[in-house]
Structure 1
Amino acid sequence: MMSRIFRHLREGIKNVIRNGWMSFASMSAVIVTLAVLGFSLILTFNVAQMSTDVTSQLEFSAFLNVNATQQTGSAIAAQIKALPGVESVQVISKNEGLAQMKKELGSEMGDVLNAFKQNPLPIQLVVKPADPHQIDRIARQVEEIQGVATVRDPHQLAAAIFRTLAIVRDVGVVFVVALLITSMFLISNTIRITIFSRRREIEIMKLVGATNWFIRWPFIVEGMLIGLVGAVVPVLVLVYGYRSLYIRAKGVFSGLAFPLVQAGDLGVKLAVILLAIGLFIGLWGGVMSVRRFLRV
């Protein structure tokens, strides 16, 4: 058994070396395809994390009656906090709301607000759901609570965010799957060209009594070696490149407050996925390429 294993490994390595330019072409195809696939995975991982951060920050505001006191606001906030699915409730008093509005409007409009004898703003409750997908249900329940005047409708904003994130996720998945299928057929065809030049050798081995698997294994090993070497190169380039980008960007998207996926975690995931894909498509390419030449 061990002698057969070493024989298949030896023959597979010889095949790679013997077909130098064809092996190089196959490895180049794997490198280019997996590099594009790896880059797509990097974008997909970071978009997924960004979508998680965006949805985790979804919240809505409920405004109480203008004459509601701070004590009433605290009582209603406790009532909202007791609703199923509510993570937190922040009470913004009238004075805090007025100060925030003056800061947002600027000094000129702030003078206009100072002209009011009484604070015209109501107490505001900022409600954050534990599950962003439940924001509409919670908003409707809050709107029915006595003392709540209006609820800033979160439906359109939440629906737009979920729809955009779903489109980005679906496009990313389709693109990655399309690249994976393309790479499998590309490598299969490349290895098939390599094997085509040795079809007579395969036919002779078959005629003298060699089993299909005895003939097949060296080509499978060759395909796996091509896939493995072709995957190692983009893994090293992409992991090093992403790590440099992560350090330079200080761990956040340029111009945004969303954090990037940590370089160490992404490097491990990327290496595992690309090496596994490289081995698989090399194995698949070797099996599919030699199959037609075993029919003697």
Structure 2
Amino acid sequence: MRSFGYYWKEGFRNIFKHGFMSIAAVVIMIICLLLTGTVTLIAYNIDLSIRTLQQSNQIVVFIDESLTTREAKALGSQFNQIDNIATIQFESRDEALEAYRIQLGEDADILDSYTSENNPLRNSFIFTLTDATQAAQTIEQIEAVEGVANVRADEVVISKLVQVQRVFNVVSLAMVIAMALISVFIIANTVKLAMFARREEISIQKMVGATNWFIRWPFVIEGMVLGLLAGGLAFFAEWGLYAELVHVADGVIPYFRIVPFEELRWLVLSVFLGAGVLFGIGGSVTSIRKFMDV
């Protein structure tokens, strides 16, 4: 217990004793966490928005005129057996005509001659898909149902959205990995500089018989405290930066859904604190090996 108290005391003493290096390490960790966290959050939001756009892309299925409205509506049971369909909405000929009147607004009088008896529109189903990448296969299954006259789907739009999603996922993943590697590299070199400044202190401790872990523990605690401090400060900085990004995105791309930071704050806080501790302890432990005969 006494040794444990000594480790904490020495760990905090080292932080203040080498104040410049401690500040440098914290600042670098904050910058790296901000860069990596911001890229990850942007990637998450864009990926979520693309998925939303994909699922909102509708497929309209027109039913053969020979079927009555009741018979057309009964086809819904067959469509429900298709796995990739997220939602199904039936629109009768009369509902479609009324919706068309509303759409025309002041010009709706041109449809006054059309009634339920001479309605030129068809009964239809409106689908949204669970997985837009399987659109072509799903459309084939829909067309195979007897009674389907025509399928209207913006397959080109769906295909483009899928391509954009795949490309962005690859690019964002590469950016996150690159930022993480840069973070580890910079932090490790910063800690190495701090260890180099203390090499004489470590040598003296080794000469008087101190064990390797007796020497390591204060540095481990120092790295953990600096990591927690950096993670906490980076979290609040990310919160402010994210709020600004949301404000900018709402003006530029208002149709994109930006997840409120309040829904992500506990996850971001835990990740930042965990990453800060991991980088701090990992950098301390790996860097001090150079100055010890282990």
Partner SS, residue 210 of structure 1:
coil
Once the two structures are TM-superposed, the CA of residue 106 in structure 1 deviates from its matched residue by 6.9
Once the two structures are TM-superposed, the CA of residue 158 in structure 1 deviates from its matched residue by 2.7
Question: Structure 2 CA distance, aligned partners of 1:234 and 1:37?
Answer: 11
- The 8 Å contact of residues 38 and 234 in structure 1, kept in 2 or not, is answered as no
TM-score by length of 2: 0.84
Which residue of 266, 273, 291 maps to 2:271?
273
Once the two structures are TM-superposed, the CA of residue 114 in structure 1 deviates from its matched residue by 6.3
Q: What is the match of residue 259 of structure 2? A: 261
Question: Structure 1 CA distance, aligned partners of 2:167 and 2:182?
Answer: 22
For 1:181, the aligned partner's letter is L
TM-score by length of 1: 0.84
- The 8 Å contact of residues 37 and 176 in structure 1, kept in 2 or not, is answered as yes
Q: What is the match of residue 20 of structure 1? A: 19
For 1:159, the aligned partner's letter is S
Q: How many residues align?
A: 291
Once the two structures are TM-superposed, the CA of residue 146 in structure 1 deviates from its matched residue by 2.1
Q: What is the match of residue 213 of structure 2? A: 213
Question: Structure 2 CA distance, aligned partners of 1:223 and 1:130?
Answer: 46
Once the two structures are TM-superposed, the CA of residue 270 in structure 1 deviates from its matched residue by 0.6
After superposition, the Cα gap between the structure-2 partners of 1:149 and 1:263, relative to the gap in structure 1 and judged at 3 Å, is same
Question: Structure 2 CA distance, aligned partners of 1:39 and 1:83?
Answer: 39
1:59-74, aligned counterparts within 5 Å?
59-74=58-73
Matched, 1:227 2:223: no
Residue segments in structure 1 that go unaligned for 5+ positions in a row: none
1:108-147, aligned counterparts within 5 Å?
118-147=118-147
The percentage of counterpart residues that share the same residue type is 28
Residue segments in structure 2 that go unaligned for 5+ positions in a row: none
- The 8 Å contact of residues 36 and 179 in structure 2, kept in 1 or not, is answered as yes
Question: Structure 2 CA distance, aligned partners of 1:253 and 1:69?
Answer: 46
Once the two structures are TM-superposed, the CA of residue 17 in structure 1 deviates from its matched residue by 0.3
1:147-166, aligned counterparts within 5 Å?
147-166=147-166
- The worse-fitting range, judged by mean Cα deviation, of 94-103 and 15-24 is 94-103
Aligned alpha-carbon RMSD (Å): 3.1
After superposition, the Cα gap between the structure-2 partners of 1:130 and 1:30, relative to the gap in structure 1 and judged at 3 Å, is closer
Q: Deviations over 1:78-136 (max 9, x none)?
A: 3323444444422223343344445556766x677668894433322112344544433
Once the two structures are TM-superposed, the CA of residue 15 in structure 1 deviates from its matched residue by 0.9
For 2:159, the aligned partner's letter is A
Once the two structures are TM-superposed, the CA of residue 285 in structure 1 deviates from its matched residue by 0.9
Partner SS, residue 152 of structure 1:
strand
Once the two structures are TM-superposed, the CA of residue 3 in structure 1 deviates from its matched residue by 1.7
Once the two structures are TM-superposed, the CA of residue 34 in structure 1 deviates from its matched residue by 1.4
Once the two structures are TM-superposed, the CA of residue 258 in structure 1 deviates from its matched residue by 5.0
